[in-house]
Amino acid sequence: MTDVLDIAIIGGGPAGLAAALYGARGRATTVVFESSMPGGQIITTDWIENYPGMPEGLNGSRIGELMHAHAEKFGAQFRTFAKVESIRAQDGGFVLTCDDGEEYRARTTILATGAIPVRLGIPGEAEYTGRGVSWCATCDGALFRGKEVAVLGGGDAAVEEALFLTRFAERVHLIHRRDELRAAKCIQERCFANDKVEMHWSRLPVEIIGHEGRVTGVRLQSTKDEAEEVLPVQGVFEFIGVHPVSELVSGLADLAPGGWVKVDGSCMTSAPGLFAAGDVTDTPLKQVVTAAGQGATAAFEAMRFVDTGVCTL
Ligand SMILES: Cc1cc2nc3c(=O)[nH]c(=O)nc-3n(C[C@H](O)[C@H](O)[C@H](O)COP(=O)(O)OP(=O)(O)OC[C@H]3O[C@@H](n4cnc5c(N)ncnc54)[C@H](O)[C@@H]3O)c2cc1C
């Protein structure tokens, strides 16, 4: 058991890193627990062009590195490759247990565990994961040089990643269950202007097909008349949404339908002293700018909470 921390932050994505910066600058003892490397989901995307103040955009991993370095510069401490396995309320504060068995006591905790991609759960998906089925164009796109790939989804991430994949793939088939995209209009315009992208409207993927351990196609069903067709592709990239990583607090704090953590205007959950920020919360816009904003708010409010002296740890 270590000394009592003012703020324990679970998750080192944009929300956790912004919280760490604000906590450490406020001279609160601030530790970030990250099960992998700091950066979060942005590590999996090539280019972020909608973070204010960066008109040319910046590589996702680079933004993660900069946010990490910025928080560390002001004194935030990091436990990387340390997964928090459980959290319990005790003496007005919290005890966190990591996967190496180490326990940490904290006066306040900020849950910034983010979200992970939704999987379709269709036949062939599990079998061909890593053999043509992917959730990360930045990681796997170069493997499909000169090939044909399918991208599933119609939001910002799907369309942006489809455009990224045109750098490698001969043809990118964008498959969407509706007859219009949800992505921001400026991204749609770029997509429609790119002759490597072929749209497949009102289609549901129902099976991923393969041969000798590799993807060879995806079976699509029309949402209009249920007619089926097999689209021959060598890769399938899924961007159909995310779901929250909130199991750690399911017994501690109120969750909204879908498992999103409910927070108030100060980013506090229903459990006093337990805050949440970023994609794990029930706020509708899931972006770097909102995650960072909530992280800053959560750290600011956590410091105010410590000052009230409610916690006896
Ligand atoms: C392909 C793609 C493209 C995107 N493009 C854009 C874009 O262009 N612009 C934009 O603004 N946003 C974009 N986003 C969304 C953006 O990445 C997210 O909104 C943002 O990363 C959310 O930050 P977060 O800190 O809340 O969560 P995350 O980034 O999900 O980070 C959560 C972190 O918590 C860690 N963690 C989880 N559980 C534990 C645990 N038990 N113990 C320790 N650590 C844990 C995870 O390892 C992870 O590092 C994109 C997302 C994707 C997937």
Domain membership flag for residue 181: yes
Running DSSP on this structure, what letter comes out for residue 287? Answer: S
Amino acid at 115: A
pLDDT of residue 143: 93
Pick from 238, 267, 286: which residue ends a domain? 238
The dihedral through the CA atoms of 20, 239, 86, 308 has a sign that is positive
Q: Is there a single domain that holds both residue 57 and residue 108?
A: yes
Domain final residue pick, 206, 238, 270: 238
How many helices and strands in the chain, by DSSP H and E?
Answer: 6, 19
Q: Are residues 36 and 88 in the same domain?
A: yes
**What are 52-76's pLDDT values in tens digits?**
999 999 999 999 999 999 999 999 9
Note the pLDDT of residue 228. Answer: 97
Q: Are residues 152 and 18 in the same domain?
A: no
Boundaries of domain holding 292: 5-117+242-308
**Residue 137 CA, closest ligand 1 atom number:** 1
Neighbouring C-beta atoms of residue 88, cutoff 10 Å:
11
Tell me the whole-structure pTM to 2 decimals: 0.92
Give the C-alpha separation, 58 to 65, whole Å: 11
- Give 134-174 pLDDT, tens digit per residue: 999 988 999 999 999 999 999 999 999 999 999 999 999 99
Ligand 1 and 161: CB distance under 6 A: yes
Candidates 91, 99, 100, 139; catalytic one: 139
Residues 21 and 82 both lie in one domain: yes
Residue 151: CB within 6 Å of ligand 1? no
Same domain? 113 vs 12: yes
Q: Look at residue 124 and tell me if it is in a domain.
A: no
Q: Looking at residue 44, what is its pLDDT?
A: 87
Same domain, 89 and 142: no
Q: Is 140 a catalytic residue?
A: yes
Domains identified in the chain, total number: 2
According to the model, what pLDDT value does residue 2 have?
59
Give the pLDDT score at 46.
87
291 in a domain, yes or no? Answer: yes
Domain boundary among 238, 259, 290: 238
pLDDT < 70 positions in the chain: 1-2, 311-312
Angle at 298 between CA 286 and CA 182, to 5 degrees: 10
Q: What is the pLDDT of residue 134?
A: 96
- Whether 206 and 157 map to the same domain: the answer is yes
